[in-house]
Chains A and B, each alone.
Chain A
Amino acid sequence: MIRVVDVHKRFGTLDVLKGVSFDVHRGNVLSMIGASGSGKSTLLRCINYLETPTSGDIFIDGESIGYRGDGSRPRRPRPLAEINRIRRDLGIVFQQFNLWPHMTVLGNVVEAPIRVRGMSRKEAEAIAEACLRRVRLLEKAHEYPARLSGGQQQRVAIARALAMQPKVMLFDEATSSLDPELTDEVLAVMRDLANDGTTMIVVTHEMAFARDVSDRVMFLHNGLVEEDGPAAQIFGAPKSERLRQFISKHVHA
């Protein structure tokens, strides 16, 4: 359902992505691991066009995010409004939560369903409450984000993304800025989502999560996929020397 085709990304003279391709099927969880600077976050941000790929294309259910038209005619870049329309189907959760501080928790979650999807407030609130219940924060609906812990803020951010009923959820190091004792509550929510059949692409440093929850794990190195396979294989029988080193450094037995 998501197809990434030969994505390159260059910042100035720096090649961050040097041609990455992969597919993710409905209901699957793909984890991307790799050292910082390997390009995994940039890749995730390219998938929903927060970064525009220098070349390559991304398809959701066969529809290109960045370009109009089919294969027969020359493709033209899509205007921003159309990218926005397709982007609704991709929920993303950031490292820095990025909740809007002037809105309550409920306000954050209903904002896009009302303003972007055009739902009535009542309808949006019903969905928002269901989403907040999924992240176990319904009782905080009327608090402002500043009153919540980092872990709670991140769970609200997950609920906010879920409220748009996206086809895919992207997680960009969702637990990296949390204190260790707060990461578990966020990972638990992510596990629940995965178990419910949510299609997910997860950039993470949490090797236990990648190993236990993902169907597939991709190891990125220097802007390329170095190794790619089922979680058991990546962690149990890594082929490349680099991946072996990476795993021995990051997985504490």
Chain B
Amino acid sequence: MSDSLREILDIGVFWEFRNILLRGLLVNFLVFFGAAAVALGVGLGAALLRVSRFRVLRAVGTVHVEIFRNAPDYVMIVWVHFVLPLLIGTLLHTRFELNPFASGVLALGLVYSGYFAETFRTGIEAVPSGHLEAGRSLGMGETLLMWRIVLPQVVRRMLPESINIFISLFKATTIVSLIAVPDLMYNVSMITQQEMRPLPLYTGAALVYFAIVLVAGSALRAVAERWRAKIT
């Protein structure tokens, strides 16, 4: 192997910059957990709208789901970061800005809330009506039924699909680098420009993401399976 080829392939450069790369990875996780929280909260809200007794609320829920589920992640990030502040600023007659991190969390959270809303909704509708009747006949109100009888079953039922959505979301966190959120991918690009060694750096990044998704995904699936086994 020629020296030049060896230099190109040398993964050591990835190790050399481990501190800044790790800090980038931490940002990925922060974006992930922030967006996941937004997605779960807003998604649950939208799902509750979609199963509401009132037609208007159901329609609002449907519009939400269709808008966000059908928006490309990148378009949504750009829109939230550059367009939304302009709109808000104009409406409030002030200057308004979102920092890139907040934009990334909000945009990804909204997109994935669309997916979670549908997962929550199918889960809610899958709970047998007899379970609700049993609760009503014991004097439980609708809110109590939702929190004690419906949602705990929904969470268990939607776990496998949720894990897939979480994995997609984690992978999507890398595109926040495009609005200069200093995540792993962003830092890799910066170092690449400086070192001119794209192969080890980008390959290293790919391997890191791959390893995380593989390990976390399998672990979550195993835990989810054991948890569900108890009740079915």
- Residues on A close to B: CB < 8 A? 48, 50, 80-81, 84-85, 87-88, 90-92, 94, 96, 98-102, 111-112, 115-116, 144-146, 157, 160-161, 164
Contact = CB atoms under 8 A, between A and B. Distances in A.
B137 A92 contact: yes
A87 B133 CA distance: 12
Contact of B136 (A50, A144, A160): A50
A100 B140 contact: no
B130, B138, B142, B152, most chain A CB atoms within 10 A: B138
Nearest to B142: A80
B232 A101 contact: yes
B231 A94 contact: no
Given A144-B230, A144-B231, A146-B232, A84 B130 contact: no
B212 interface: no
A88 B134 contact: no
B120 to A, nearest CB: 16
Given A98-B133, A101-B232, A144-B231, A112 B152 contact: no
A84 B153 contact: no
Q: Is the interface of B mostly helix, strand, loop or mixed?
A: helix
B89 interface: no
Contacts of A84: 136, 139-141
A87 B141 contact: no
B140 to A, nearest CB: 6
Contacts of B148: 111, 115
Nearest to B152: A102
B156 interface: yes
A84 B139 CA distance: 4
